[in-house]
Amino acid sequence: MGEVDPAFVQELEHRPKLGIIAAEGIPIIDLSTLSSSDATPDRSQALEGLVKQVGNACRDWGFFQVINHGVSLEKREKIFNASKKFFAQPLEEKNKIRRDDKGALGYYDTEHTKNVRDWKEYPPAFLLREICEDYAKEMERLAFKLMELIALSLGLGPDRFHGFFKDQTSAIRLNHYPPCPFPHLALGVGRHKDPGGLTILAQDDVGGLEVKRKSDGEWTWVNPTPNSYTINVGDIIQVWSNDAYESVEHRVKVNPEKERFSIPYFFGPAHYAIVKPLEEIVNEQNPAKFRPYNWAEFMANRKRSNFQKLDVENLQISHFRTSKLADKLEGALSINN
């Protein structure tokens, strides 16, 4: 089998188990109600039920899958086929457009998560710009629908989040996970939480996504549902909801025999967005649990650790949590100034 590069080896406590614990309970939510234009009591009741399902999923899991979502299957297949065609090329061809210190865009296979190298590779989006842009329009439509449902589930107006995404910083990634002979040591992507608003994931039938179950901390396998999308709450929604909905840790296991393809869409707000708990949610009984932060500055810091190994963990929203001590210090500083 040979020896694995130490850069890929997870710490003992974070190494994956070779068995699978099925993530039974992660909801599969049917969005067909949204495509109906009937203004009937039945539709109103169905929409109310849909909002409740989404809210429960966000609260209990931080993850759910959606079916009958309205995304064109043809466009989904087109972007997957383009991704497979790129990754099928010899390494020497891919290396001709490899990312380096001079150019931030390019082919890359040395990304790090939690300072451990991921067993994956991805291409620069500019090679598939037309296909990606076409697919991104589908993802944007779905993202706004989901954000409206989440807003309603929090007791807010359906368009409450729209303004944050006026000049959005959303992105598509095309991931390829080659077969890995060391599935007990390496991960396709190490444990992490997504920093943005929502992530909408398309994956093939190989599977690999694991979610850290909130009830007991067990890593549980998300079984791919054909033509579905897997949705997860990002850090921003956790902050906006003031912890009502939690951004949950997840990771990707590798397969020793099969390659895997996935296409996540990261729905991010404008670069100038200030992220903080929403005014409608915060009150005396539910004080703000996070200090405000600027989205662009937050992400600039986070990305530093994606492409280099650091001695410390990258920036997390936990670093912006409020505390009585922090509040006292902030108050003292304001008085002294």
> Within a domain: residue 119?
yes
Question: What is the mean predicted confidence (pLDDT) over 224-251?
Answer: 97
> Within a domain: residue 281?
no
Q: What's the structural domain count of the chain?
A: 1
> Within a domain: residue 161?
yes
Please report, for the domain that includes residue 109, its CATH number. 2.60.120.330
Residue 328 confidence class, pLDDT cut points 50, 70, 90? very low
Residue-level pLDDT at 18: 82
Residue-level pLDDT at 106: 80
Residues above pLDDT 70, as percent of the chain: 89
pLDDT tens sequence across 146-162? 999 999 999 999 999 99
Residue-level pLDDT at 215: 87
> Within a domain: residue 191?
yes
Question: What is the mean predicted confidence (pLDDT) over 239-249?
Answer: 97
pLDDT tens sequence across 178-223? 999 999 999 999 999 999 999 999 999 999 999 999 988 899 999 9
Residue 129 confidence class, pLDDT cut points 50, 70, 90? confident
Residue-level pLDDT at 298: 92
CA distances from residue 37 to 47, 83, 142, 310 in whole angstroms, order as listed: 11, 36, 17, 52
Residue 222's domain comprises: 6-275
> Within a domain: residue 145?
yes
Which tokens is 237 given?
């929604």
Statement: residue 102 has pLDDT above 80: no
Statement: residue 105 has pLDDT above 50: yes
Statement: residue 314 has pLDDT above 90: no
Output 68 or 124, whichever has higher pLDDT: 68
Residue-level pLDDT at 309: 55
> Within a domain: residue 324?
no
Statement: residue 60 has pLDDT above 60: yes
Output 134 or 96, whichever has higher pLDDT: 134
> Within a domain: residue 336?
no
Statement: residue 54 has pLDDT above 80: yes
> Within a domain: residue 30?
yes
